[in-house]
């Protein structure tokens, strides 16, 4: 006797059929996928495509970088005036917002700002900061008072700063801080901006002429009182040029102080951090250094010391990354052997790397007053 199928049996049979159909459908999809992408190569191809795109982008970037790397030396060689701008950096003014006409806004309210004309069409901005002991007396005083202040017993330092920047600051650091230290020790400090800041174009010859003009201007006002020349960084090249001219005329200054000096501009350019990426490029001298020489830029302090006849003090930090310590030491070695400096004091003061003075912080040294006093063989005038 046959058993009748119940509704539950029908539902169970129907469900089984659906499951079997679903299983068949999945297998069908797998076969279709396998047929269209045997071995799953589509995913691998996608990965390879992405990697290929990334490599192409990196290759394009590399080509651009290489193109720029090659183009820069060619441009400098074709247009050597660009190299001159990179040496002087007279187009750089940091910080831009400083009003150089108002040194009192920077806390230098014992400083006078004025302008001189070394030659027709050339104007230079000058700051004269009186010794700190004259600070109260200097408040709100006019040009006549500052001129008369040169007649005090305090000696004078003509300060020649490095490239770029202004008489307030330079790329090497705040110049006014160095001036403040020197003024606190009892010195008049006179500093100026090289031509190219206000008018004219910078050049080694022009900067040296401006320094000579200002030296003579000061000398007319102080008579026989001591006048020292202090140069920093590129300013050391200007300083040795100036002192050589003075010595050739039989009018040497009382002393020359060189802070972070170099031997000559070619050796400094080759040692500068900016030249690192090109230093080992074949033809480096031809592309870069010869372009400097083509602009009549030498700043040959290593030659100048053979024509200088006054005491020379060299200050250099061992961790100076802008002007390497070995260049300052090499200049000292040359000066110590110079016949023209025979009989004059030549001194080299190194500052250990542990002090962290680098290229622009020697003014922080607590030993600086004693160093200057010992070198100049006189107590500081404020004592």
How far apart CA 73 and CA 64 sit, in angstroms, is: 15
149 is catalytic: no
Count of domains for the chain: 1
Active-site residue, from 132, 149, 180, 233: 233
| Residue 344 is assigned to a structural domain of this protein | yes
110 is catalytic: no
Active-site residue, from 128, 232, 359, 380: 359
Closest CA to 73 of 285, 322, 296: 285
| Residue 152 is assigned to a structural domain of this protein | yes
In this structure, what is the dihedral angle of CA atoms 265, 268, 272, 275, given to the nearest 10 degrees?
Answer: 60
DSSP secondary structure letter of residue 38: G
| Residue 51 is assigned to a structural domain of this protein | no
> Is residue 301 scored above 80 in pLDDT?
yes
161 is catalytic: no
| Residue 89 is assigned to a structural domain of this protein | no
Q: Which range among 100-104, 125-129, 324-328, 359-363 has the greatest average pLDDT?
A: 324-328
Split at pLDDT 50, 70, 90, the class of 296 is: very high
Active-site residue, from 188, 193, 320, 380: 320
20-41 residue pLDDT tens:
544 554 454 444 444 455 555 5
User: Which phi and psi (to 5°) does residue 115 adopt?
Assistant: -130, 145
| Residue 164 is assigned to a structural domain of this protein | yes
Q: CB–CB of 323/331 below 8 Å?
A: no
- First-to-last alpha carbon distance for the chain, in angstroms, is 136
Contacts of 371 (CB under 8 A, 6+ apart): 313, 315, 349, 365
Q: CB–CB of 212/245 below 8 Å?
A: yes
**Domain that includes residue 221, residue range:** 101-274+298-376
Residue 179, Cβ density class (10 Å: 0-12 exposed, 13-18 middle, ≥19 buried): buried
How far apart CA 110 and CA 133 sit, in angstroms, is: 10
- Residue 49: what pLDDT? 59
314-354 residue pLDDT tens:
999 999 999 999 999 999 999 999 999 999 999 999 999 99
Split at pLDDT 50, 70, 90, the class of 171 is: very low
| Residue 70 is assigned to a structural domain of this protein | no
Q: What is the mean pLDDT of the chain?
A: 83
- Residue 53: what pLDDT? 75
Contacts of 100 (CB under 8 A, 6+ apart): 113, 125, 127, 166, 167, 168, 193
Tokens of 101: 């006409």
| Residue 184 is assigned to a structural domain of this protein | yes
Q: Kindly report the CATH number assigned to the domain that includes residue 152.
A: 3.40.50.1820
Closest CA to 262 of 379, 172, 132: 172
Tokens of 355: 């002090």
DSSP secondary structure letter of residue 336: H
52-108 residue pLDDT tens:
678 888 888 888 888 887 788 788 788 877 777 788 877 666 656 676 777 777 667
| Residue 45 is assigned to a structural domain of this protein | no
């Amino acid at each position: 006797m046959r058993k009748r199928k119940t509704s539950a049996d029908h539902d169970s049979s129907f469900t089984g059929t659906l499951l079997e159909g679903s299983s068949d459908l999945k297998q069908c999809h797998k076969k279709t996928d396998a047929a269209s992408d045997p071995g799953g190569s589509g995913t691998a191809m996608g990965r390879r495509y992405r990697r290929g795109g990334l490599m192409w982008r990196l290759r394009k970037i590399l080509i651009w970088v290489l193109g720029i790397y090659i183009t820069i030396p060619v441009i400098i060689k074709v247009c050597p005036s660009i190299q001159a701008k990179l040496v002087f950096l007279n187009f750089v003014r940091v910080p831009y917002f400083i009003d150089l006409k108002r040194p009192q806004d920077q806390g230098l309210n014992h400083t006078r700002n004025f302008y001189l004309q070394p030659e027709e069409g050339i104007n230079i901005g000058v700051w004269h900061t009186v010794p700190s002991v004259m600070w109260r007396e200097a408040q709100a005083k006019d040009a006549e008072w500052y001129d008369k202040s040169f007649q005090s017993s305090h000696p004078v330092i003509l300060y020649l700063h490095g490239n770029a920047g202004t008489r307030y600051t330079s790329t090497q650091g705040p110049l006014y801080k160095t001036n403040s230290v020197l003024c606190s020790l009892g010195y008049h400090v006179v500093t100026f901006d090289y031509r190219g800041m206000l008018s004219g174009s910078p050049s080694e010859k022009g900067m040296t002429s401006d320094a000579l003009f200002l030296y003579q201007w000061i000398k007319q006002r102080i008579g026989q009182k001591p006048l020292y020349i202090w140069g920093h960084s590129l300013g050391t090249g200007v300083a040795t040029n100036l002192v050589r001219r003075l010595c050739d005329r039989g009018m040497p200054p009382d002393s020359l102080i060189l802070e972070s000096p170099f031997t000559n501009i070619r050796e400094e350019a080759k040692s500068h951090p900016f030249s690192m990426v090109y230093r080992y490029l074949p033809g480096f001298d031809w592309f870069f250094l010869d372009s400097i020489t083509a602009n009549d830029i030498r700043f040959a302090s290593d030659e100048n010391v053979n024509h200088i006849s006054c005491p020379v003090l060299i200050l250099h930090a061992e961790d100076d990354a802008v002007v390497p310590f070995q260049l300052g030491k090499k200049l000292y070695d040359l000066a110590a052997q110079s016949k023209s400096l025979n009989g004059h004091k030549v001194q080299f003061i190194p500052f250990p790397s542990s002090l962290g003075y680098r290229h622009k912080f020697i003014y922080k040294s607590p030993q600086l007053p004693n160093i200057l006093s010992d070198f100049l063989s006189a107590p500081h005038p404020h004592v």
